[in-house]
Amino acid sequence: MHTPLWALAHSRQAIIIGPWTSEMGFEVLYWLPYLDYLRQTYRLDRDRLYVLTRGGAGEWYNVGHSVELYDYVPPGDVRLLAHRAQREAASIKQLRITPWERRLVDLVAERHGLRRYHILHPSRLYQALDGWWSTLTVGMAQAMKILRWSDIPVPPPPVGLALPERFIAVRFYARATWPLTDELLDWTRTLILNLAQTIPVVVLRSSAYLDDHADFPAPTGPNITVVEAGPYRENLAIQSAILKRAAGFVGTWGGMAQLAVRLKVPTVALYERWHGVSYAHRSLTEWLAMQTGVPLYVGTPWTLEAVRSVIPQAIALPDPPKGSSS
């Protein structure tokens, strides 16, 4: 049973947030904005907050204390336990706090000397917004009442990592909307090689597979830099640091594209077929891009080609009319 929000506001006890083990897209589109809403509405002192997440993503939260999940549970065990909970709940969402999560929170509290504390578990978010992304019984306006949009802080790139002065970040990975087929492998490879003819390309790769998405192979060639995003406990932090510096992002529609929009990076997000994902996430991402003035294209390789056929690359586009917002 959740602690009433008014009780969190009136208490002086620490609040342990998490653990977050779901997909990164949900984290940046919903969990962070929901926490911002709670922090602002209930005036929660950031020094009371202990966020428990993985892959260095604690850098994104702007709270008093960041706790790295993988310092307590090995990544392989986290995936196994999360998958087991998903099977039992018949959902990828964290709909309730599981016994292993409860034990983890207790251990974190003990190591930080917290004798009394509250838990702010992701199930509170999933229950509040289930009508938005699952049943569509809650409209966007209603969902927006419990979301707030603060800038996401990211760390600097790792010391010694040489990045081009200006570059496009690229990450293509397999998922339901972008299957690992020979046709898409060839198309993705050609796209990256063609991009590299006009601007340096930094291909982000993640051997950690934090969200169970295997990367597409990256081609080699002039103007292409491939960056392996480091060890498990720093993986997401490193990718966000590089992404924040990019002039644009091109890749699979999903969590990385949603992070790019949250970081205000112009984004081209591609899918091959709309399958196994909620359109609600796309609607929210497109709304957010519009509100923040971030250029965003979401579509297929075929619609991308159709746009190019209507406005050929050789045509010099005029400056936008004065007074245009985007």
Structural domain boundaries, residue 96: 5-144
> Which tens digits make up the pLDDT trace of 21-41?
888 999 999 999 999 999 999
Predicted local distance difference test score (pLDDT) of residue 192: 93
DSSP string, 261-285: HHTT--EEEE-SS--SS-HHHHHHH
Look at residue 295 and tell me if it is in a domain: yes
Predicted local distance difference test score (pLDDT) of residue 326: 46
Mean pLDDT of the chain: 87
Band of the pLDDT at 226, cuts 50, 70, 90?
very high
76 and 199 both lie in a single domain? no
234 and 114 both lie in a single domain? no
> Which tens digits make up the pLDDT trace of 135-149?
666 678 888 899 999
| Residues 23, 204 contacting (CB under 8 angstroms) | no
183 and 242 both lie in a single domain? yes
Distances, alpha carbon 111 to alpha carbons 70, 72, 93, 105, 108, in Å = 15, 10, 28, 10, 5
Average pLDDT of the segment spanning 36-50: 94
More confidently predicted of 317 and 281: 281
246 and 201 both lie in a single domain? yes
Predicted local distance difference test score (pLDDT) of residue 13: 93
Domain count, the chain: 2
183 and 133 both lie in a single domain? no
What are the percentages of helix, strand and coil residues in the chain, rounded to 5? 40, 15, 45
CATH label of the domain that carries residue 294:
3.40.50
Look at residue 152 and tell me if it is in a domain: no
Residue 74 has pLDDT above 90, yes or no: no
Burial class (CB in 10 A: 0-12, 13-18, 19+), 223: middle
Predicted local distance difference test score (pLDDT) of residue 75: 83
Predicted local distance difference test score (pLDDT) of residue 275: 82
129 and 68 both lie in a single domain? yes
Band of the pLDDT at 284, cuts 50, 70, 90?
very high
Residue 126 has pLDDT above 50, yes or no: yes
> Which tens digits make up the pLDDT trace of 94-119?
878 889 999 999 999 999 999 999 99
76 and 125 both lie in a single domain? yes
> Which tens digits make up the pLDDT trace of 164-189?
999 999 999 998 899 989 999 999 99
Predicted local distance difference test score (pLDDT) of residue 136: 65
115 and 186 both lie in a single domain? no
Task: Give the predicted TM-score (pTM) of the model.
Answer: 0.91
Look at residue 160 and tell me if it is in a domain: no
Distance CA 129, CA 133 (A): 7
Predicted local distance difference test score (pLDDT) of residue 259: 97
Look at residue 155 and tell me if it is in a domain: no
11 and 68 both lie in a single domain? yes
Band of the pLDDT at 196, cuts 50, 70, 90?
very high
**For the ranges 3-7, 39-43, 55-59, 109-113, which has the lowest average pLDDT?**
3-7
| Residue labelled with tokens 């984004």 | 267
> Which tens digits make up the pLDDT trace of 294-323?
999 999 998 888 877 776 665 665 666 665
Residue 324 has pLDDT above 70, yes or no: no
239 and 139 both lie in a single domain? no
211 and 272 both lie in a single domain? yes
186 and 287 both lie in a single domain? yes
